[in-house]
Amino acid sequence: MATYLSLFVHLVFATKGRVDVIRPEWRSDFHGYIGGTLRGLSAVPLAVGGVGDHVHALVGIRAAVTVADLVRETKKASTTWARQHYSGFAWQEGYGAFSVSRGDTDAVIAYILGQEEHHRRVSSSDELRALLAEFGVSFDERFFE
């Protein structure tokens, strides 16, 4: 029998210390690079976006790729790229990964592409807390300090 999958994951990962280093001058190119990296890892990026201190990506996952490997390799490759623009660039350890149903992909894409407007009202830490609560993920508040 063949393997059939419909797996969409909303990924979120932040810069080290949530420092605002992903500058508007190169942010779009950076998001494009992340999308290309995801494609190179046999994933299907539906949207990549974010603001100066974090990135969101909605990704279709293939059977041979684990979320942990996908994020690790994407962060590694994008660090190398970003250091051409900001020498001290680094990602924070860890990430958020949230399952998304096929019917919700359009809403998540809009959410990701609307990050700049969204973060005029909500901090990135509060955004992550809300996502964790929405998906029933317990967390340690120490990681938000």
Q: Which two tokens stand for residue 97?
A: 């990964």
Residue 70 lies in a domain: yes
Residue 3 lies in a domain: no
- CATH number assigned to the domain comprising residue 78: 3.30.70.1290
Residue 90 lies in a domain: yes
pLDDT truncated to tens, each residue of the chain (145 aa)? 788 889 999 999 999 998 999 999 999 999 999 999 999 999 999 999 999 999 999 999 998 889 999 999 999 999 999 999 888 999 999 999 999 999 999 999 999 999 888 788 888 888 888 888 888 888 888 776 5
Residue 1 lies in a domain: no
Please report the pLDDT score of residue 55 as a whole number: 97
Q: What are 105-111's contacts with CB under 8 Å, separation 24+?
A: 105/8, 105/46, 105/58, 108/8, 108/10, 108/46, 108/47, 108/58, 109/46, 109/47, 109/58, 111/56
Structural domains in the chain (count) = 1
Which pTM value belongs to this model? 0.90
Residue 97 lies in a domain: yes
Residue 92 lies in a domain: yes
59-75 exposure pattern, b = at least 16 Cβ within 10 A, e = fewer: bbbeeebebeebbebbb
> CB count, 10 Å around CB of 83?
12
Domain of residue 54, residue span: 8-104+112-144
